[in-house]
A and B are shown apart, each in its own frame.
Chain A
């Protein structure tokens, strides 16, 4: 299996599954989890500029680059 890559490095249209979320002190992982972005969730990248927009389940979520770097994806 490939090593997971950060969501921030994926091109628009790419798909994959969340591998893990790098934890920090701000509760970022909790907020993402609450939106359904948890290990195993499948995601599709929709847009990468100016922010990153992706679809997770049926939810469209916009995040800043720093957050997208913390989300590690196993590419499909």
Chain B
């Protein structure tokens, strides 16, 4: 843990009275409205990075880290944002409420957006009812300043009877003060009397200590905000963003970088070198295991490092930029109607777009949705149709080389499948959807530091999680191939794969790989398309089936964890049938119409 450890003796001699005997480290919960910067404060206190983005719902689980406060090592808990402790709560809000209700924290640090004092105080008022000692951190005072809002921090602190700290967490401003204040947190004294509602108390308190001299936000920012929000300009901008993503990820990442790595580094250097070295190994089985058809190096490592890695990295960069700019939630305005026909509301655009990064993470993000029915539909749609980053990019890499129309056809088919399934699910499943009410984060220029850290972490996560699975997958394929099971599988599925889908029978192996990890399967198709063993039409069909096909093992486990085994199996079965059915229909239609690309 990157927590600065200072020898106890030096500190205890200086600050002896602060050392208290505890049975466990003091637990500090960072609580606050969504998107106020709790995760940034968490990172500043503990030195651990929790993913920071510019939209509500980035954190949907609790993250715990250690921080040295005074002489004590404390547990700091980063919680999902919450707007209220009372009334209708979404699943992520319930997580925080449970933490506070079960004594999981002894001290609350409420992080607040300084621009929204009234809203913050509504939460303060409810948090005060927990009777826990509190500190209020007014974050983003720089942005509040820019909008002409000043807060009488000293007055507010005296009124509430708790420390109130001004902060700009990404710059580290106010963090030292927060550390000092943590040792002197007390219960809220200047709380409302029982006859006053939380809202009225917050309104009057905010009015007393806040001066608004409202300056409108910067012209440029206002203009951008309006342009991305209004349909007349917003839809062309969306098309432009998608096209830019295609250029950066599909062309630069999947073609230029992959070409350089695969042909230049792996096929040109590493694989021949490995083959020569392996030539000295006397046992042919081991030689094949390393550098054969299903070799660890020639297949596993090449797929992971040369085909998927460049694509994932470029995608994460682009994606992180969009996340931090505040753009993604604005898409909810356009998509609300479409999602409503699928029993969801515009808010569902968040997990759907996040699914393009990783469906497993996005499955967890469905917690921000209001009702169990919405969560079930969203999880099913994610499993069915949303390709994850690596898969998306291999799709772009293969089809981008064929024609833009092939790409449009694939996404058209997949999207319409999602709409049909969503439409049916909305009617077949019991329960309701919730109202579309979504807070839009401010439009910001992403901080390059955060973007770099986030991308680096995601790439490291990819390397740590995906590469071992690629190797395990390759080993499994090798074994299956050796014991003849792969041939058996290939011939068993031939009527389906060759007959109905019109694909070469070896693609059966690729679909097995796709279950292990979607991107692994996609990389297999990439290789086949490159070798010329797939025609253009076959590529489109294979990729469509792969996109709709079963979620990877990790995603399936997450679905089971979030929704139970029965739901998981039901989704798995439905998705498999839909994928193969769609592929067969597509094959039939393309052959009948004699379409080539």
Residues of A within 8 A of B (CB): 26-28, 30-36, 38, 40-41, 46-47, 49-51, 53, 57-64, 66-67
Chain B CB within 10 Å — which of A35, A40, A49 has the most? Answer: A35
Q: Is the CB of B435 within 8 A of A67?
A: yes
Q: Is the CB of B345 within 8 A of A64?
A: yes
Instruction: Name the residue of chain B whose CB is nearest to the CB of A37.
Output: B437
Binds A, one of B1-9, B23-31, B331-339: B331-339
Binds A, one of B115-123, B155-163, B534-542, B580-588: B115-123
Residues of A near B337 (CB, < 8 A) are 50
Q: Taking chain A's interface residues, is the majority helix, strand, or loop, or is none over half, making it mixed?
A: mixed
Chain B interface bracket (under 10, 10 to 19, 20 to 34, 35 or more): 35 or more
Residues of B within 8 A of A (CB): 83-84, 86-88, 113, 115-116, 118-119, 122, 144, 147, 149, 199, 203, 225-226, 229-231, 330, 332-334, 336-337, 340, 345-346, 432, 434-440, 442
Residues of A near B83 (CB, < 8 A) are 31, 34-35
Residues of B near A33 (CB, < 8 A) are 84, 87, 122, 199
Residues of A near B330 (CB, < 8 A) are 62
Q: Is the CB of A62 within 8 A of B199?
A: no
Q: Is the CB of A60 within 8 A of B434?
A: no
Q: Is the CB of B86 within 8 A of A62?
A: no
Q: Is the CB of B119 within 8 A of A36?
A: yes
Complex CA distance for A58 and B144, rounded to whole angstroms:
9
Complex CA distance for A38 and B121, rounded to whole angstroms:
13
Query: Could you tell me the distance in whole angstroms from the C-beta of B469 to the nearest C-beta in chain A?
Result: 39
Instruction: Name the residue of chain B whose CB is nearest to the CB of A61.
Output: B439
Task: Known A-B contacts: A47-B230, A63-B438. Give 15 more (CB < 8 A).
Answer: A26-B434, A27-B88, A34-B83, A36-B119, A40-B203, A46-B226, A51-B332, A53-B440, A59-B439, A61-B439, A62-B330, A62-B437, A64-B336, A64-B345, A64-B435
Q: Is the CB of B436 within 8 A of A34?
A: no
**Given A53-B333, A58-B149, A61-B439: A30 in contact with B116 (beta carbons within 8 A):** no
Complex CA distance for A33 and B86, rounded to whole angstroms:
11
6 cross-chain pairs, A with B, having the tightest CB-CB distances, nearest first: A27-B88, A30-B87, A34-B83, A58-B115, A34-B84, A64-B436
